[in-house]
Chains A and B, each alone.
Chain A
Amino acid sequence: MRACALFSSVLTALGFAVFVATALPPARAADAPDPAADAKAFRDYFVKKFPKVKLDDFVNGPYSMNEDMRKQWEEKEQFPPYEFALEAGKEMFATPFKNGKSYADCFANGGIGVRQNYPMFDEKEGKVVTLELALNRCREANGEKPYSYVKDEMASLTAYMAFTSRGKPFDIKIPADPRALEAYQEGKRYFYTRRGQLNFSCATCHVQSPGERIRAETLAPALGILNAMPIYRSEWSGMGTISRRFTTCNSQIRGVPLEPQSDEYRNLEYYLSYVSNGLPISGPGARP
């Protein structure tokens, strides 16, 4: 009798489970990360918010937001201010290390036209590897000192690598490795988390307020926000890497920036690049 009752309650439970499984869309807890769905929602948000901006144009940051600025930009592109860095980067890239090897030996396709694949998830290390990090690792593996992540040499190298990849759509992969999904999710969390005394998240400015002016600057939309990196900025009177931009955006809301290429920034870059998959690389960029 008792066994019978137990049996029937197990059956009921089973029946309920089957019922739930068939009634709900394929078992996805509300909170389980779904990068493909995120990327679609992300893109849709910006396309709907800015119906006049062509999808591929979002990669031009503040210039995509406003007709006057766009004109300024087109004029600027005739004598681009990043030209100098680009030339320097090309030369640096071609110059062998002391051991005779070169950057080309560290990258697929000799490093030409590969920018759109970074950041990559490295399954051996279990972490995200950005292009800046890969460049420094290449240097160190060949007995050279790493470059500062926020200074000109790194900006020049990444400028050249971006240039050889212009027009290629971002193609960030999340391999079937729980650590990759975790890294993506952590990057997303960083992006939306408020910080600094001003209590702003990246999204407060680049999702809720793109196109709006803050001091003298027009805020870039978060869709395609890394495609033009590195960038020349008149305010910096020079080039800036992704690392430089992340740390600057943190300090302007009175947050102490993290170390360039910390896990958080690597994950953040992974997330932001992934949700811009399909949009073309346009770097290096020039900004007012």
Chain B
Amino acid sequence: MSRTIGAIALAAVLLPATLIPARAASDADFKTAYAAADAAEKQAGALRNQWTTTEAALAAARKAAEAGDFDQAVAQAREADALAKASIFQATSEKEAWKALEIK
């Protein structure tokens, strides 16, 4: 369980580093980043373990893209991707870890 927390914390730390684009992002950059995040979130959905924060970041990415702010759109999509991956990690490790909490 602390491993899960660790992974989530790590995702949060790594996040800002991946967010600084060298040049202004394009619509194509957004589409690539969004597709990756969306695929990860679908996988979390198949594991029945989506997070509301991932959904919020995906929505913010779409909104920024619609407004033509692709830097922001890419940043939000990458955040969504990191969150979705953390939720997948959580669901996977909980497949066994839940037993530790059980009242015996």
Instruction: List residues of A whose CB falls within 8 A of some B CB.
Output: 38, 41-42, 45, 188-189, 192-197, 199, 201, 203-204, 207-208, 251, 254-256, 258, 264
Q: Chain B residues near A196: list those with CB within 8 A.
A: 51-52
Which DSSP category, helix, strand, loop or mixed, fits chain B's interface? helix
Interface size class, chain B: 20 to 34
Q: Chain B residues near A255: list those with CB within 8 A.
A: 49-52
Query: Interface segment, B19-27, B28-36, B67-75, B91-99?
Result: B91-99
The answer to whether B49 touches A195, judged by C-beta atoms less than 8 angstroms apart, is yes
Q: Chain B residues near A194: list those with CB within 8 A.
A: 1, 4, 90, 94, 97-98, 101
Q: Chain A residues near B4: list those with CB within 8 A.
A: 194, 199
A217→B50 CA distance, assembly (Å): 26
* Minimum Cβ distance to chain B for residue A101 (Å): 36
* Minimum Cβ distance to chain B for residue A136 (Å): 22
Instruction: List residues of B whose CB falls within 8 A of some A CB.
Output: 1, 4-5, 8, 48-53, 55, 83, 86-87, 90-91, 94, 97-99, 101-104
Which interface residue of B8, B55, B94 has the most chain A CB atoms within 10 A? Answer: B94
The answer to whether A199 touches B51, judged by C-beta atoms less than 8 angstroms apart, is no
The answer to whether A192 touches B99, judged by C-beta atoms less than 8 angstroms apart, is yes
The answer to whether B103 touches A45, judged by C-beta atoms less than 8 angstroms apart, is yes
- 23 A-B pairs, CB-CB below 8 angstroms? A41-B103, A45-B103, A189-B98, A194-B4, A194-B90, A194-B94, A194-B97, A195-B49, A195-B90, A195-B94, A196-B52, A197-B52, A197-B53, A197-B86, A199-B8, A199-B90, A203-B102, A204-B101, A207-B103, A254-B53, A255-B52, A256-B52, A264-B48
* Minimum Cβ distance to chain A for residue B1 (Å): 7
Known: A197-B87, A255-B52. 13 other contacts (CB 8 A): A41-B103, A192-B98, A194-B90, A195-B91, A196-B52, A197-B53, A197-B86, A199-B5, A203-B103, A254-B51, A255-B49, A256-B50, A256-B51
The answer to whether B53 touches A192, judged by C-beta atoms less than 8 angstroms apart, is no
* Minimum Cβ distance to chain B for residue A209 (Å): 12
A148→B55 CA distance, assembly (Å): 24
Q: Chain A residues near B97: list those with CB within 8 A.
A: 194
Q: Chain A residues near B53: list those with CB within 8 A.
A: 197, 254
The answer to whether A197 touches B8, judged by C-beta atoms less than 8 angstroms apart, is yes
A203→B101 CA distance, assembly (Å): 7
* Minimum Cβ distance to chain B for residue A85 (Å): 29
The answer to whether B103 touches A201, judged by C-beta atoms less than 8 angstroms apart, is no
A189→B48 CA distance, assembly (Å): 13
A203→B50 CA distance, assembly (Å): 19
Partner of B98 from A201, A208, A256, A258 at Cβ < 8 Å: A201
Residue of B nearest to A275 (CB): B103
A42→B102 CA distance, assembly (Å): 9
Partner of B52 from A189, A204, A254, A264 at Cβ < 8 Å: A254
Q: Chain B residues near A264: list those with CB within 8 A.
A: 48
